[in-house]
Structure 1
Amino acid sequence: MTIEVDLVTSAGGNIGSVSRCLDRLGVPFHLTGSHNPPAGKRPIVLPGVGAFGTVMQSLGENCLADELRRLIKIGTPFLGVCVGMQVLFDESEEAPGVPGLGIIPGRVCKYVGAKVPQIGWNKIIPGKDYLPEKWPEGFVYFVNSYYPKPASDAVTLYSADYYGHFCAAVKQDNVTAFQFHPEKSGDFGQGLISKWVADVS
C-alpha cells in the first residue's frame, strides 16, 4: 500500500495502538495537530478514547474542529475510531451543551439499564444497505459507555447488540467511522482498516 494518511493527535487520542496497526499494514502516516493541522492532501484518521467533551474541547482549543469540518465537507476521506466516531455527531449525553462536529445528524446516547462500560468482544452485523461479501460480520473489541444514534439508519455500516440494538459503525460519503477498536480486534479488525485504506487509495 502506497497511500499515506494524517493521524490527528488530540486529548484522549489512542495514537499508539492505531499507529502500530498502520505500521503493521505498511501505511505511512503523519502526526498532525495544532502546530501542523491536516491540509487535506491525505486521508485523515481521528482516533480517540475517553470523553466526548474532552476531545471536542481539545479539537476546539487547537483550532482543529473547524478545519476537520472544512476538510470533510470538501471530500477528504476520513476515518473515526471510538470517540473519534462520536464527535462526528451533533451532541452527546455525556457532555450536555457541547456541540460535536455535526457531520452526521444524530446524537450519542448512554446505554440505559446496562452495565457500563461495555468492555470486550461483540459481534457486528452489516447494515441492510451493505453487502456482507464486502462488509462481513465478525467479532470486534468494544470499550464504551455511550453509543451513536444516527438520525437515519441509512448511514449505519454495522450494528451490534448490547442491552439492545445499537449502531456500531457508520459510512456517509467520504466518512467512515467505528465505535469499536478495529486496531485491537485482531485480523478481522485490522482487515476493516485495510479495506478502508484500499477504498480511499
Structure 2
Amino acid sequence: MRQISFFSVEASGPRLSDLAGVLCAQGRPTAFGRTAARLQVVVEQPWRARLLAAELAWRGVRVTLTRAECGSPLVRTAFQVDLLPMANAWLDGDEKVVPPGFRLDGGMLRLWALAAGRNESRGYFFPFDPEVPQTHAPLTAALAAAGVPGPVVGPRGGGPAVRVTGRRRLDTLTELIGDPPPGAEALWPGGAIETPVENPAAAMA
C-alpha cells in the first residue's frame, strides 16, 4: 500500500491556502483596502485556465475566465474577504513578496504546476514570476524544504525556474501533488512529453 505524505494534497484535502501556489508562479494579489482581496494569473494556454478555474472553484473561490491585454487567458478570482490575509502576506506595498517562513505543501505545488509547470525530458520545471526576481531565492529554498530541490535555470535554460530531476525527487513531487486532473496528464511529472490536447469548445467555458 502506498504511504501518503502528511504534506501531500491527498492528505490535506483542498484548502484555500493552496492558492499561494498561483502566487509562486506569475499570479498577482490585489487587496481592496481592508475589506477584501483577489488573485489573478495570466497563463499561456486556455487548458491551464480551465483546469485552474476548476481547482479554485473546488476550494470555494469564485472565478472569472477572461483575456489579458496581451491576449493570453486570464484567471481572476472575485474579491473575497477570506483572500485578504493571503494577499496581505504576499504584498509589501504594491510589490509581491514571499512571506517570511513560507512553506510549500502538496496543494500549493499542485496549483503552481497547473499555473506554469512544465514536464520536459530535462526534468520538471517550476517557473518563477520573471517580473519579481526577489521571490526566486526564497521559493527555491521552499522547494528544497518540501523535498523537491533543484538547480535554478535562467532564461537560456528555459527559466527563470527550478528544474527538478532524478527519479526519487520526481516520485516525491508526484506524491505531493496527487493525480493530474483530466487533460493535464502530459503536464504532470513522469507523463509523456507532449502538449495536452486542447478542447476548443470547453477551453474557456
Superposed pair shares fold, TM > 0.5: no
The normalised TM-score by structure 1 is 0.34
Q: Which has the higher contact order (CA 8 A, sep 6+)?
A: 2
The normalised TM-score by structure 2 is 0.33
Whose helix fraction is larger, Structure 1's or Structure 2's? 2
